[in-house]
Structure 1
Amino acid sequence: MDIREIQNLIKFVAKSGATEVKLEMDDIKITIKTTNEPGAEATSYIQHVPVSQPAAPVAAQPTAPATPAAPAAPAADDTSKFLVIKSPIIGTLYRKPSPDKPTFVEVGSTISKGDVVCVIEAMKLFNEIESEVSGKIVKVLVDDSSPVEYDQPLFLVDPS
């Protein structure tokens, strides 16, 4: 699906009067939310869903403790029991849905698989990033309004 098709879909949904539309295809999720208020803009979220992403955090963890020198090993062992939520796209990370709303998650928050943990803006589209693991947030690795890269660690989660 290219950008023109997405723009046409947004225009169609805005004209239809629907307040929310969700579209899921093989590798993409699109959510379009509109309001009935005059002058309000439609909000669209697009999320690319890589097929191999659930295995990536588990496979990436064991290699991290093996590479540091011996003095750093005890600290690495402390974090090896945690799962990592990584960025699926490049963009700007926002920890809140809007400036006047509370953050999606904080350190100590309990999350379930499918919970939104942050939003990443890419090409003027806001992508909700959903957790693929359940557990408790133990560390936030990225500041609000910070640029993020593909596969960059965002949160550490204690699965126990």
Structure 2
Amino acid sequence: MSRKTRFRFFMKDDIDLLKEVLSVNPFSGDSVNKWAEIAENFMMVHQEKALDGRRCQERTSLLLAFSKEKNRDKLLRHGTDEENVEKEQLLQEVLALSEQAKFKTEKGKDESQKTQLIRKRAIKNMKTDTSDENDDSQCSVKRRKSNT
């Protein structure tokens, strides 16, 4: 019975993963397929390591969480100064992509809510206008009857 060994990320792996995240940008569009694409591209470079999209997403989320918390000890444990600087820079760029996608999503929701409100008001006004026209037509009909 063969058991998959869990892939362990090292500093170079984190850097390669973050570079791949930046090149594919899984924060916009179909994120599930993009994370799978990231994993596939990562495994082409690191052929001996088996990895899926979910694991890439989890690792990226973990690195971003460490970065946001300013938890440098966990983030920069085993790297050289150059690697640490590169990793921090890549994390800032990935974080910016993530925040930008969140902002666009929230902005889109706001615009959608505004559009729905405008539609509701328009429908309400149309109903009011229609009922006014019906009242006018009934009045004119009554007037005709009274005149005859």
* TM-score, length basis structure 2: 0.21
Select the structure that is richer in strand: 1
Structure number with higher relative contact order (C-alpha < 8 Å, ≥ 6 residues apart) = 2
* TM-score, length basis structure 1: 0.20
Larger-gyration structure (1/2): 2
Select the structure that is richer in helix: 2
